[in-house]
Amino acid sequence: MMFFLEKNDLPELLRRASAYFEIIAPVLVNGEPQLVSWRGEDLALGAPNPLLPPTRLFLPPRETLFTYLQESGLYTFQVPQVKERLIVGVRPCDLRALSLLDRIMLSEPADELYSKRRRSTAIVALSCTEPSESCFCAQMGSGPEAHEGFDLLLTDLGERYLLETGSPDGIMLARLSEELLERGDDAEKRALMRESRERILSARPWLSQERMRSKLREIDWRSMSRECISCGGCSFVCPTCHCFTIADLGLPDGERIRCADSCILSGFHRMASGANPKARPEERLLSWYMEKLEYMLSRAGMPGCVGCGRCERVCFSGLHKTDLFR
Amino acid sequence: MVLDAIETTCVYCGCGCGLYLHVEDSKIIAVTPSMKPPARGRLCAKGWLLHGFANHPDRLREPLMRRGDRYVQTSWSEVLSFIAKSFADIKRDSGPDALAVLTSAKATNEENYLLMKLCRAALGTNNIDNVARLCHAPTLFALGSSLGSGSMTNPIESLLHSDLIMIIGSNTTEQHPVVSFYVMEARRNGAKIIVMDPRRTQIAEIADLHLQMRPGTDIALLNAILNVVIREGMIDEEFIRSRTDGFDEVHDRVAEYTPEAAERICGVPAELIHDAAVMYGSAGDAAIVYAMGITQHAHGTDNVQAIVNLALATGNLGRDGSGIYPLRGHQNVQGACDMGALPDYYTGYQKVSEFREKFEDSWNVELPASQGRTAIEIMSSAGSEIRGMYISGENPALSYPDSSRIRSALESLDLLVVADIFPTETTRMADVVLPIASFAEKYGTVTSTERKVQLIRKAIDPPGNALPEWVVAAKLLEIFGISAGYDSSAAVMREIAALTPSYGGISHERLERGGIHWPCPTQEHPGTPVLYRDGFPRGRALFRHVDQHECGDGRFTLIIGRSQYHFHTGSMTRRVCILEREVPEAFVDVNPKDAASLGIRNGTGVILESESGTIRARARLSDSVSSGTLFMPFHFRESPANMLTGWQLDPHSKIPSLKITSVSIRREGA
């Protein structure tokens, strides 16, 4: 179903939804867009995509898997509660990343916490009418339009939004604010999306998945990696990265935590013997890209790069640039 | 309020990177960089993993008092009265100079200020110092005496305007990653990079020239570069004439430091020295970046002076892209010095000898005039003249030179109070342990390496009964009868601003809108990113000729430094599981040629021995060090590198010679 929603009415729609969900939305915190619990602040939907990808709300960089308490030699365990959430402003690239993560994290045996969070979270997506300079979702086939994976989809038409429902939950949510909605159509949206797609494609007309894959082995990773400081930043902002490590903190009581990890770090690959098959940064960089462009594709049927451009925004060395594949 | 993002400043090195702590239910679940300078979206691995330690269950939660061999939990009121009474007793019996305070470069400006006030106004002694004594005391002395301000002359961003960046004694990519980001950006825009380091570090790998000198021969090298610059007529005569004094003597005396003479001392080919000098001398705007490789020597002040001489001779001061960049190692080591946590200065480098009356009037107490002791002097008189000590967030048992001597010094005290966030080797020796709020659990300001005062903001609650240290210091001040009445750390900053010309215009309200570079004398003043644009505060800048000192004659010279994945004594980073995995144990870099002759293979256990002590570590074969040079990090209590270092002090700044030590090395079991 398609509706028009006056821009001024979006907060009211969210307020009504907040009776059922904790609302997470991008707002400006000291001038920069961040995903936070929404308390009625101005929404920063027009700002660049926040650095912390929304996928990280399902698989936080640091999370408690359970806490343990020892009493007279017996352990009791406590598992954290999962909240009902509505995430607002998820872009198509991140939406695609989420469906990729679903294929990985929910395949048997499904990851319990991820699956609980996934089930209890609703998503209001946002069509990308204002792509950033570093965006190349159109080339990766993940944007700027969202086709699935959302409960509601907003498209900024200037004065108002086009609101589309994508699931039964989305229809329920829309019904909560029925009188704010007006039957709509997507003619204007189609034009806007065409324009946005053109803009993204024309910024890098030479770029394609096939080109990236074929170029992978030609790139001189050794010289490229000379400036890589192995900070792991590219992994920590990548919406499809999902590797983690687990540690028990505290004795006799404490917690088992899961912590986002990065294959850019050398210790990630080191074996118990001390031998390291990927001791050199160029080997790790190549394997990072292989994972994104080859292995995820063959494992999950989707490339692991969704063209969000976050790795470029955090890279020390200017290495994570699509120019690499030119 | 369930999911939140709080902008604050990173706690590790002095770069001062802004970042957001993503918090859910009072736990930090993620970290992302701020897009504002200096971070501009970049963080090192330590920064990205900053969510790893604040919520760690090892955190100190309750005040602890020693009862025999055990610690018992106690209340704040009991522990603070005990501290106050014990300090007062020592003061009555042995005089105020039997007490000493070491403040923390991880504490805020407000906390350093209040501890400084506590030390001087309440305890009545100038025996106060901070870890700067072990890192940039020579910078403070040399830059202060020759230029007028002992700090970085330009902001980090200024490097983007440099035509040439000379890096000496700094492993920039690993230790100040965000500074290296600007160096690499400058390089991508065409700047030339010269690295002078006994180790082939990552930044040396990407440099246009790498001068791999013998450890401790920096002065010979810098003087030889100046020698060539003078001979080739590349000096800035107008700058020298109009803005400096003392050039003639330097001019005459560096004449003997020909590249050929320097080659014999440094082991760097004369031709390479010549090339570096021409490259530096012919650059429009040239910057010199340095760190511990320059300062942590028994002649650290002279080392810094050699850098100053070079910058002055070429007129590379007072402009974007030029300047001298001493890189500070701690989040707030600059601030700790600015706040007067130094034996000879009040806030803003106001000399005790000149400004005592001003502070007496403001604080309404009589202040000590006696000469205060520096950190190592405090340690060397512990147990004799010094009987009581307050150590804030430091771990000298591991970080100070000659660890065994430090441990017996601390053991011999009548009262040792240690405030920290985690149990450390030093809290284990304390009579009283105070649980302190971490950077993520309090408000305050910190001053980064580029003199930029920035806010830290509270993101989560402190664990248990831990308190921000400014609250602890304020309570102690009140017990000592010094009216405090601070209701927030912003109120403390108002007092600092009123007493400190360089911080005069700084307030928490203003900092909400972004950091400010001091000097910032008034509310309207925009701050001063670049110093010396229009002149030097001391009138004319001063050349001072310095000579190369004797170098160690041991077969092996051990360089001690840090790994990029750990910070100092590891009390924070070793509790972050991924960082601990990256570098789980101490290593000694050994050149493969040396290794072959010693029968050492990669991973072999080796014994290192110096005049001070003996330790064991694992060898790592690496051609990043030359034959005769070894490198080892000091983070690891299992292989405490500082068991090997000695107490040889620089005469001017009293910094100990931590960077290099003559050692012997042998295969374990050999």
Residue A264 has pLDDT above 60, yes or no: yes
Contact B7 A29 (CB under 8 A): yes
Q: Which residues of chain B are within 8 Å of residue A33 when distances are taken between CB atoms?
A: none
Q: What is the pLDDT of residue B552?
A: 67
Contact A229 B3 (CB under 8 A): no
Query: Do B641 and B568 contact (CB within 8 A), yes or no?
Result: no
Query: Do A257 and A62 contact (CB within 8 A), yes or no?
Result: yes
Q: Which residues of chain B are within 8 Å of residue A22 when distances are taken between CB atoms?
A: 2-3
Q: What is the pLDDT of residue B527?
A: 97
* Section B109-125 average pLDDT: 98
Put simply, the chain A residues between 56 and 115 with a CB less than 8 A from any chain B CB are 56-57, 60-64, 83
Q: Which residues of chain B are within 8 Å of residue A315 when distances are taken between CB atoms?
A: 42
Contact A34 B31 (CB under 8 A): no
CA neighbor of B131 nearest in space, from B16, B13, B298: B13
Residue recorded with tokens 């009356």: B357
Q: Which residues of chain B are within 8 Å of residue A259 when distances are taken between CB atoms?
A: 49, 51-52, 577-578
For the stretch B236-292, pLDDT in tens is: 999 999 999 999 999 999 999 999 999 999 999 999 999 999 999 999 999 999 999
For the stretch B452-505, pLDDT in tens is: 999 999 999 999 999 999 999 999 999 999 977 899 999 999 999 999 999 999
Tokens of A116: 């609980």
| C-alpha distance from B483 to closest chain A C-alpha (Å) | 35
Q: What residue spans of B166-299 are helical by DSSP H?
A: 172-175, 177-188, 202-205, 218-231, 237-243, 247-253, 259-266, 270-281, 292-295
DSSP B382: B
Q: Which residues of chain A are within 8 Å of residue B177 when distances are taken between CB atoms?
A: 229, 231, 316
| C-alpha distance from A25 to closest chain B C-alpha (Å) | 10
Contacts of B158 (CB under 8 A, 6+ apart): B287, B320, B321, B323, B529, B530
Q: What three-state secondary structure class fits A16?
A: helix
* Section B615-631 average pLDDT: 96
Contact A29 B58 (CB under 8 A): no
* Section A136-147 average pLDDT: 96
Q: What is the pLDDT of residue B485?
A: 85
Query: Do B617 and B650 contact (CB within 8 A), yes or no?
Result: no
Query: Do B28 and B14 contact (CB within 8 A), yes or no?
Result: no
Which secondary structure element, helix H or strand E, spans residue B605, and what is its range?
strand B605-609
Residue B538 has pLDDT above 90, yes or no: no
Q: Residue A178 CA to chain centroid, in angstroms? A: 30
For the stretch B192-211, pLDDT in tens is: 999 999 999 999 999 999 99
Q: Buried b vs exposed e over B573-592: b needs ≥16 C-beta within 10 Å?
A: bbbbbbbbbbbeebbbbbbe
* Section A162-173 average pLDDT: 97
- Please check whether residue A313 touches B, CB under 8 A: yes
Q: What is the pLDDT of residue B483?
A: 76
| C-alpha distance from B640 to closest chain A C-alpha (Å) | 22
Q: Which residues of chain B are within 8 Å of residue A30 when distances are taken between CB atoms?
A: 7, 34
CA A248, A249, A250, A254 dihedral sign is: negative
User: What's the angle, vertex CA B396, arms to CA B73 and CA B413, rounded to 5?
Assistant: 65
Residue B554 has pLDDT above 80, yes or no: no
Distances in Å between the alpha carbon of A82 and those of A5, A34, A55, A57, B528? 31, 21, 15, 11, 49
- Please check whether residue A205 touches B, CB under 8 A: no
For the stretch A274-321, pLDDT in tens is: 899 999 999 999 999 999 999 999 999 999 999 999 999 999 887 778
Q: What three-state secondary structure class fits B487?
A: coil
Contact B48 A232 (CB under 8 A): yes
Beta bridge partners of A37: A24
* Section A90-109 average pLDDT: 97
Number of neighbours of residue B76 by Cβ within 10 angstroms: 16
Mean pLDDT (chain B) is 96
Q: Which residues of chain B are within 8 Å of residue A247 when distances are taken between CB atoms?
A: 577
Which secondary structure element, helix H or strand E, spans residue B593, and what is its range?
helix B592-598
Number of neighbours of residue B609 by Cβ within 10 angstroms: 14
Q: What residue spans of B244-374 are helical by DSSP H?
A: 247-253, 259-266, 270-281, 292-295, 300-313, 333-338, 352-363
CB nearest B3 (choices: A30, A36, A51)? A36
Contact A32 B29 (CB under 8 A): no
Q: What is the pLDDT of residue A319?
A: 78
Q: Which residues of chain A are within 8 Å of residue B57 when distances are taken between CB atoms?
A: 249-250, 253-255
Rounded Cα–Cα distance for residues B468 and B371 (Å): 30
Tokens of B282: 């012919």
For the stretch B566-577, pLDDT in tens is: 999 999 999 999
Query: Do B96 and B119 contact (CB within 8 A), yes or no?
Result: no
Q: What is the pLDDT of residue B669?
A: 87
Rounded Cα–Cα distance for residues B385 and B392 (Å): 21
CA neighbor of B151 nearest in space, from B282, B355, B383, B333: B333
A vs B, Cβ pairs < 8 A, gives 138
Query: Do B518 and B453 contact (CB within 8 A), yes or no?
Result: yes
Length of chain A: 326
Query: Do A145 and A193 contact (CB within 8 A), yes or no?
Result: yes
* Section A127-146 average pLDDT: 94
Contact B5 A62 (CB under 8 A): no
- Please check whether residue A301 touches B, CB under 8 A: no
Residue B1 has pLDDT above 60, yes or no: no
* Section B103-114 average pLDDT: 97
DSSP B665: E
* DSSP β-ladder status, B516-517 and B541-542: unpaired
Q: What is the ipTM of this complex?
A: 0.97
Contact A51 B33 (CB under 8 A): yes
Q: Which of B4, B28, B29 to mutate to test the interface with A (most CBs of A within 10 A)?
A: B29
Rounded Cα–Cα distance for residues B119 and B97 (Å): 10
Q: Which residues of chain A are within 8 Å of residue B1 when distances are taken between CB atoms?
A: 37, 39
Tokens of B5: 């993002």
The overall pTM is greater than 0.80: yes
